[in-house]
Amino acid sequence: MNSETEASFNFFLPPFVVFGRGKRSVLPEYAHKLGIKKALLVADPFFVGTGYYAEIKEMLNAAQIPLAEWSGVVPDPTDASVDEAARLFREAGCDGVICIGGGSAMDTGKSVAVAAGSGADSIRAHMAPHYGSVGGMAPVICLPTTSGTGAEVNPYAIVTNTETNEKGLGYAAWEMLAAQRVAVVDPDLTASMPPRLTAVTGVDALCQALECYISQSPNPVSDCLALHAVYLVAHNLLRAVNNGQDMVARVNMSLAAMMATMAFPNAGLSFPHFLSEPMADLYHLEHGVAVGSVLVASLEELLPYKEERLAEIAGAFGVQSQGRSQREVAQEGIAQIRKLLKDIRFPTLAEAAGGKDVIDIDVFVADVMQKKAGLLKTQEDRERVRSIVVRALAG
């Protein structure tokens, strides 16, 4: 780890976290602490049919916290879905939000809380191009049921503006948010994830940690969190995919996802996440698949510039460095990441897109450069994007 990093950075401290198996039982206690009198329960549709959902409702009922329920969460939430949930929040007289599910459920719930705080007719008021000031939000408690996005600890949400078709971070001054938020991370809730979802969400967590560690602006705090998150994924993701009831692996994957997302909003990400939005739009790839399918290609492309950091990542994967050059260690680390993806049966880019011919590289590069104009500006960036896609398609 680079000890010469200049200690000058901003850092968002995540919300209050309660972590551990069975910790869902503290939910009523924290709802009371936040002063919630009536909660909107925002849940992923699949979760509503589970025993855990019934158990959580029963706990809240027993604690005399009345609920309105909304399970219309859509993957990649839109302004329309958020607005619909926010309408129910207002009509039912709620004053707090409890969200249970993956990133989409949590992003929806947090956005409802923002709209409730400002009284805006639509969440669009807080998104590009308006970026209306947020000015507080209703209290929110997040309970993740996946170990991937880490949305329980980040202070923003990805919502699509259906008027402009723009997908992106909601909210101006996001770093000032979340003062009232609690994350209850109970790994038991992730045990029902099937192997494929475990793999896809786990790879998102891996990408977030890895990209953070090799980003342009890491800092000493993000480095610690991100590198340990990589270590945890390296040693637990395959176990969790192969045996969903391996609770040691589940606990470690929940930790990894949370730590990666404590880190990356404070440091930045890299190519896999820069490319994920165009990939989702053009080839309809879900987020975790999009980022994972170009991960190895991105690391190979960045190897000449990030050799030291990639060698440190290799160390987290257990690669021995004795008697080897830094370049060899870094290359072996990338090979280990490729092997992990293969072992968890993660799709290649060509498989995910439905065939190599589906991807017109010129169209893709043009779309990336247009959507990410603020991040990727130069001819060099353009060539790097092209090279990553060529590599990924070859893999």
Query: To 10 degrees, the CA torsion angle through 294, 299, 300, 304?
Result: 150
211 near Fe ion, rule: CB under 5 A: no
What is the rounded radius of gyration, in angstroms, for the C-alpha atoms of the chain? Answer: 21
| Binding residues with Fe ion: total (CB under 5 A) | 1
Of the pair 65, 73, the CB lying nearest Fe ion is at 73
152 near Fe ion, rule: CB under 5 A: no
Count, residues in the chain: 395
Shortest reach from residue 205's CB to Fe ion, in Å = 8
Scanning 94-102, 137-145, 176-184, 200-208 for contacts with Fe ion by CB under 5 A, the matching segment is 200-208
Of the pair 70, 264, the CB lying nearest Fe ion is at 264
* Unique residue bearing structure tokens 């972590």: 19
Contact 289, 316 (CB under 8 A): no
Shortest reach from residue 266's CB to Fe ion, in Å = 15
Q: Which residue lies nearest Fe ion, judged by its C-beta?
A: 204
Shortest reach from residue 268's CB to Fe ion, in Å = 13
Scanning 119-127, 136-144, 186-194, 201-209 for contacts with Fe ion by CB under 5 A, the matching segment is 201-209
Of the pair 116, 193, the CB lying nearest Fe ion is at 193
Of the pair 98, 385, the CB lying nearest Fe ion is at 385
Shortest reach from residue 264's CB to Fe ion, in Å = 8
Of 96-115, binders to Fe ion (CB under 5 A) are none
CA gap 278, 49 in Å, rounded: 33
Of the pair 83, 204, the CB lying nearest Fe ion is at 204
Q: For the window 304-343, what string marks contact with Fe ion as x by the rule CB under 5 A?
A: ----------------------------------------
Scanning 157-165, 196-204, 236-244, 254-262 for contacts with Fe ion by CB under 5 A, the matching segment is 196-204
- Burial letters 9-18, b for 16+ CB under 10 A, else e: eeebebbbbb
Scanning 184-192, 197-205, 299-307, 354-362 for contacts with Fe ion by CB under 5 A, the matching segment is 197-205
Of the pair 115, 200, the CB lying nearest Fe ion is at 200
Of the pair 227, 290, the CB lying nearest Fe ion is at 290
Structure tokens at 324: 């080897």
Shortest reach from residue 260's CB to Fe ion, in Å = 9
Shortest reach from residue 148's CB to Fe ion, in Å = 7
Scanning 58-66, 198-206, 209-217, 293-301 for contacts with Fe ion by CB under 5 A, the matching segment is 198-206
Query: To 10 degrees, the CA torsion angle through 196, 142, 160, 125?
Result: 180
Shortest reach from residue 44's CB to Fe ion, in Å = 17
Of the pair 289, 319, the CB lying nearest Fe ion is at 289
How buried is 109 (Cβ within 10 angstroms: 0-12 exposed, 13-18 middle, 19+ buried)?
buried
204 near Fe ion, rule: CB under 5 A: yes
Shortest reach from residue 208's CB to Fe ion, in Å = 5
Of the pair 109, 288, the CB lying nearest Fe ion is at 288
Of the pair 200, 376, the CB lying nearest Fe ion is at 200
Using CB under 5 A, list all residues that contact Fe ion: 204
